[in-house]
């Protein structure tokens, strides 16, 4: 790991405030990043003060005046080169993601690949920032719409995807002509520094103005500065529903824009006509991948009565085969939770579930002994529950899977929708009518609805996000780029007269 730290010059930086290639002498308290893999300190960084934050914002505002004048395809070419730099750094950055966050090495590599993919998407997008043309009711007039950059995009990201979510936002924002300031999770600051170093080299080689890529590392108050700052027209925040409500209220109070990607409480419906063996793979990965710390992690399985017992037995057997340990060892399926606070929440959720009447088929607990010295490794658990339990209605960021019975599809859909969150959902069925009903306006109320794949592992080509307490935001693919721009409607009169709309007469 020391070689990786040297490759990205992380230990030499020791600063939590950057305008791109320039690192400020950050004056805040020191933040030590420790790995949940082994509990060891990786490196320390000085957090940003309010003064550091203001300096980064000022530089970003100056850079925007120049950056927005660059033609979009030229901005896209810079992003293409960022993608190439990420390809060259994929192994090292993927390992750093895995070690600092605790996800499996394959998932670490996958996260960097997701960054590369969004760069490719953004390059194509740079030539497609198009508006509509409309016929005017007035003769000799033409109407059309165009899209302009907003200015500074503030990005608040979570620990579970420490680099990918930043790339979803920044690559699209950059090709749209915005500049970005990133506030990463205080639990994973080193991966953010590595990304800043990668980007800075590409930007410097292309003469990109200093300030287009800003970085602020700090505790929660740094996110509050961003949310309350009228200089930042758009704040994209990923995290818990509690955090999102706070950010949304602060941004809304100043009539800014908030793009919120918040909690999920995702369910898979297992139909009596499902391919149970195929379903098992999606359910187990969805529940234990990233140790249950994805916003799209599978929290609930809603299983038809006729296959409930047989599928339950398959799950219990599969859980008995899970290998838990160091995520850098590719033989392991499950790594650690992010920290001991997460472990405490996991244990509290298990006790709450039992108190409400839940019956555990696979017991949870904290693993101890050789290889588990960090105290962050836990056992994936399975419990039979009722959907109405308060703990089931709540998102627990840990590998706890709840099993619920159903007898007909309308009931299953009602159970699926019967939680405050609305991010990802899925049905496993070979029945076309069931699949179509699930995807219809009478079906899933989530932003993502899948058939015969799990809730976890979205591709970058589609817009990502959810409804209800998930926040309503959309990132990544499709037309999510419009969130980073302002729409302008234009009317051009090329006639010799000035008629008014709606036939209004105003003669002088």
Full domain range(s) for residue 362: 266-461
Residue 182 lies in a domain: yes
* 275 and 248 share one domain: no
Q: What would the mean pLDDT of 415-427 be, rounded to a whole number?
A: 98
Identify the band that residue 284 occupies on the pLDDT scale cut at 50, 70 and 90: very high
CA distance 462 to 477: 4
Residue 343 sits in the same domain as residue 225: no
**28/161 same-domain check:** yes
Task: Identify the band that residue 416 occupies on the pLDDT scale cut at 50, 70 and 90.
Answer: very high
Number of domains comprising the chain: 2
100, 111, 114, 261: which one is catalytic?
A: 261
Where residue 131 sits, what CATH number does that domain have? 3.40.605.10
In this prediction, residues 69-83 reach a mean pLDDT of 98
The answer to whether residues 229 and 317 belong to one domain is no
* Residue written as token pair 């550091």: 52
Residues 409 and 305 placed together within one structural domain of the fold: yes
One domain, residues 335 and 483: no
What are the b/e assignments for 436-456, b being 16+ CB within 10 Å?
A: ebbeeeebbbbbbbbbebbbb
Q: pLDDT band for 457, please (50, 70, 90 cuts).
A: confident
Q: Nearest 5°: phi and psi at 260?
A: -110, 125
Pick the closest to residue 208 from 102, 59, 89 (CA basis).
59
Decide if pLDDT at 260 tops 90: yes
Same-domain check for residues 441 and 477: no
| pLDDT band at residue 300 under the 50/70/90 scheme | very high
What is residue 330's predicted lDDT score, i.e. its pLDDT? Answer: 92
Q: In the block, which residue shows the tokens 């040297």? A: 6
Q: Are 479 and 386 within one domain? A: no
Question: Is pLDDT above 90 for 507?
Answer: no
- Strands (E) in 112-265, as ranges, are 133-135, 141-149, 152-156, 179-183, 213-216, 234-238, 257-261
Residues 29, 123, single domain; the answer is yes
Residue 430's pLDDT band (boundaries 50, 70, 90)? very high
Band (458; pLDDT cuts 50, 70, 90): confident
- The reply to whether 436 belongs to the active site is no
Give the residue-averaged pLDDT of 242-246: 96
Are 407 and 481 in a shared domain?
no
If you average pLDDT over every residue of the chain, what do you get? Answer: 97
Burial (Cβ within 10 Å: 0-12, 13-18, ≥19) of residue 7:
middle
Helices 409-417, 432-439: axis angle to 10 degrees equals 30
Supply the pLDDT for residue 287. Answer: 98
Question: Which of these, 83, 155, 72, lies nearest to 114 by C-alpha position?
Answer: 83
> Are 174 and 239 within one domain?
yes
Distance CA 329, CA 323 (A): 10
Going by pLDDT thresholds of 50, 70 and 90, the confidence category of residue 508 is confident
Same domain, 316 and 224: no
pLDDT of residue 308: 98
pLDDT band of residue 11 (cuts 50, 70, 90) is: confident
Share of the chain above pLDDT 70, in %: 100
Q: What is the pTM of this model?
A: 0.97
């Amino acid at each position: 790991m020391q070689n990786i730290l040297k490759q990205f010059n992380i230990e030499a930086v020791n600063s939590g405030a950057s305008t791109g290639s320039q690192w400020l002498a950050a004056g805040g308290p020191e933040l030590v990043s420790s790995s949940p893999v082994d509990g060891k300190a990786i490196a320390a960084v000085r957090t940003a003060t309010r003064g550091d934050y203001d300096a980064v914002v000022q530089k970003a505002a100056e850079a925007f005046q120049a950056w927005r004048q660059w033609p979009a395809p030229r901005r896209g070419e810079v992003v293409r080169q960022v993608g190439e730099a990420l390809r060259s750094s994929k192994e090292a950055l993927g390992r750093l993601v895995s070690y600092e966050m605790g996800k499996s090495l394959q998932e670490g590599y996958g996260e960097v690949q997701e960054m590369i993919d969004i760069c490719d998407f953004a390059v194509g997008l740079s030539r497609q920032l198009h508006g509509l043309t409309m016929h005017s009711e007035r003769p000799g007039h033409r109407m059309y719409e165009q899209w302009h950059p907003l200015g500074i995009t503030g990005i608040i990201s979570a620990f579970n995807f420490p680099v990918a979510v930043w790339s979803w936002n920044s690559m699209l924002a950059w090709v749209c002509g915005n500049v970005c300031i990133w506030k990463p999770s205080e639990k994973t600051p080193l991966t953010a520094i590595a990304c800043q170093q990668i980007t800075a080299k590409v930007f410097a080689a292309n003469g990109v103005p200093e300030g287009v890529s800003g970085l602020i590392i700090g505790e929660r108050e740094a996110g509050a500065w961003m949310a309350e700052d009228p200089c930042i027209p758009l704040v994209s925040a990923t995290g818990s529903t509690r955090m999102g409500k706070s950010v949304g209220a602060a941004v809304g109070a100043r009539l800014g824009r908030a793009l919120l990607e918040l909690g999920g409480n995702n369910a898979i419906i297992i139909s009596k006509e499902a391919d149970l063996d195929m379903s098992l793979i999606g359910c187990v990965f969805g529940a234990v991948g990233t140790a249950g710390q994805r916003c799209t992690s599978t929290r609930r399985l809603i299983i038809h009565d006729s296959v409930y017992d047989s599928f339950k037995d398959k799950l219990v057997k599969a859980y008995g085969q899970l290998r838990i340990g160091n995520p850098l060892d590719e033989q392991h399926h499950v790594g650690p939770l992010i920290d001991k606070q997460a472990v405490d929440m996991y244990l509290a959720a298990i006790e709450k579930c039992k108190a409400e009447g839940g019956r555990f088929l696979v017991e949870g607990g904290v693993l101890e002994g050789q290889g588990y010295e960090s105290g962050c490794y836990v056992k994936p658990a399975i419990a039979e529950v009722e959907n109405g339990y308060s703990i089931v209605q709540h998102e627990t960021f840990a590998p706890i899977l709840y099993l619920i019975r159903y007898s007909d599809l309308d009931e299953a859909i009602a159970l699926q929708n019967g939680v405050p969150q609305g991010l990802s959902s899925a049905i496993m069925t070979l029945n076309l009518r069931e699949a179509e009903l699930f995807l219809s306006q009478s079906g899933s109320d989530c932003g993502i609805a899948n058939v015969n794949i799990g809730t976890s592992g979205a591709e970058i080509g589609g817009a990502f996000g959810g409804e209800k307490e998930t926040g309503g935001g959309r990132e990544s693919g499709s037309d999510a780029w419009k969130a980073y721009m302002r729409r302008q409607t234009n009317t051009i009169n090329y006639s010799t007269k000035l008629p008014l709309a709606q036939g209004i007469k105003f003669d002088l």
